Homo-oligomer: A and B are copies of this chain.
Amino acid sequence: MEEKILELIEQKKFGELKNLLSDINPADLAQIFEEVEEKDLPVIFRILPKELAAEVFVEMDSDMQQLLIEAFSDKELREVMDELFMDDTVDIIDEMPATVAKRILRQTDAAKRRMINQLLAYPDDSAGSIMTTEYIDLKKDMTVDEAFDRIRQIGFDTETIYMCYVTDRSRRLLGIVSVKDLLLNPKSAVLSKIMDENVIFVNTHDDREEVAVQFEKYDLLAIPVVDKEDRLVGIVTVDDAIDVMKEEVTEDIEKMAAILPSEHSYFKTGVFETVKARIPWLMLLMISATFTGAIISGFEEKLTLFSGLIAFIPMLMDTGGNSGSQASVTVIRSISLGDIEFGDIFRVLWKEIRVAFCCSLALAVVNTAKLILVDYLLLKTFNGDTHAFAEIVVVCLTLFCTVIVAKIVGCSLPILAKKLGFDPAVMASPLITTIVDAISLMIYFGFASLILSV
């Protein structure tokens, strides 16, 4: 399909192209257009039917949108922008350089411009920033038939018609009624009798992540957004909620990997931008690791006496780190799914301690067996070391304790972070690893001092 289209563009067979393109889904078209040469793009775009053109435009990434806007005449620009829903318009303006944004605003009428500026003013992560202002509003004394008339009249310009909002004269939300309710009730029924007054809604300043959670929890198609005076100002539709979920998950995963969240997709993020997102944590963790180094330095002279112990440092550090990050990542994800709250901290600790006990026992037993059977008897790596068995005991005891401490630290830090108002995701693997490293070495050298009587 894609090749066929690029071929037709090459051959300038625009008539045939027009027929072919009209049948393709906007999301697919936007993807295909990424392969089209920049100079051809405005030409191809112009042959699309107006409505499809606007739908494709919304699906494009901002670079391509900007390219097209710059190629548009004022009239063309106005035509495309007129077809867009308010939330998409605002998103696009938000992404454009100031000069382009100004040009778009100049091409919209005063009422729409006022609305756009109002929406642009909502904080970046708020419900207000992702809502659209086009929805079906009904009055409570309308009949089902009158409601359908209203839907037929304004439905073409609203993003969803399936959820309708019943408001009073000062735009306060009284109830919702779905098109399903309308269809399954008699035509003469009055909305006040059939509307659902237990409306789930959000406020303009609520966090958009909170909005997405409502969709998951209540299986919604759209959620109404009200302002401080409880007036209905917009709705968020499920497709936008899904986008939020996707972005929030990416952000969480990035934070868990010690990366500052980035806004764009992989290839759209420049090298310098990527470096800026990655270097702060790397730097911080590198500096923190010097504390771990200091612990080793403090034990250096004794380590040279029992040099066999050095070789176990990576295994102990890694196993501790992995155990801790298993616990922290599980807890972080459970917090964001709403399964764990601060009040659960002791239940979590009690579970993790039992899990840790089983894990550390299994690991210690396997490791002891391996050290005795493989290292001591088979490979004879302890050859000549008179403290061989004492060293094995030190290593395995350390392993046992480290795993337990790691799980306790790993499960409790995210919960505490959340309680203190930080993002729990920041308490993920890398930070836990650094903390556990230091602890495991202290345990190691502690046991070594005791048992090897260093």
Q: A residues touching B (Cβ–Cβ < 8 Å)?
A: 23-25, 27, 148, 151-152, 155-156, 161-162, 179-180, 183-184, 198, 200, 215-219, 221, 238-239, 242-243, 245-246, 249-250, 252-254, 256-259, 265-267, 271-272, 274-275, 278-279, 281-283, 285-287, 289-290, 292-294, 296-297, 300-301, 303-304, 307-308, 310-315, 317-319, 321-323, 325-326, 328-331, 333-334, 337, 339-340, 344, 347-348, 351, 354-355, 358-359, 362-363, 366-367, 370, 381, 399, 403, 429-430, 433-434, 437, 441
Contacts and interface: CB of A to CB of B under 8 A. Distances in A.
B256 A329 contact: yes
A283 B362 CA distance: 9
Contacts of A279: 358-359, 362-363
B265 A148 contact: no
B347 A314 contact: no
B310 A271 contact: no
Contact of A290 (B239, B315, B329): B315
11 contacts: A27-B218, A27-B219, A151-B183, A162-B162, A179-B183, A219-B242, A253-B329, A257-B329, A293-B315, A296-B314, A297-B381
Given A242-B215, A266-B331, A355 B319 contact: no
Contact of A198 (B23, B162, B281, B286): B23
A121 to B, nearest CB: 26
A82 B279 CA distance: 58
B282 A319 contact: yes
A267 B339 contact: yes
Given A200-B25, A256-B253, A311 B318 contact: no
A258 B253 CA distance: 14
A433 B278 contact: no
A252 B246 CA distance: 13
Contact of A184 (B156, B300, B315, B403): B156
A131 to B, nearest CB: 16
A365 B23 CA distance: 57
Contact of A434 (B245, B258, B318): B318
Contacts of A318: 285-286, 289, 292, 430, 433-434, 437
Given A257-B328, A258-B322, A267-B347, 12 more contacts: A23-B198, A253-B329, A265-B337, A267-B339, A271-B358, A275-B355, A275-B362, A282-B319, A286-B318, A286-B367, A296-B311, A303-B307
A296 B325 contact: no
Given A307-B301, A313-B313, A330-B257, A217 B27 contact: yes
B152 A184 contact: yes
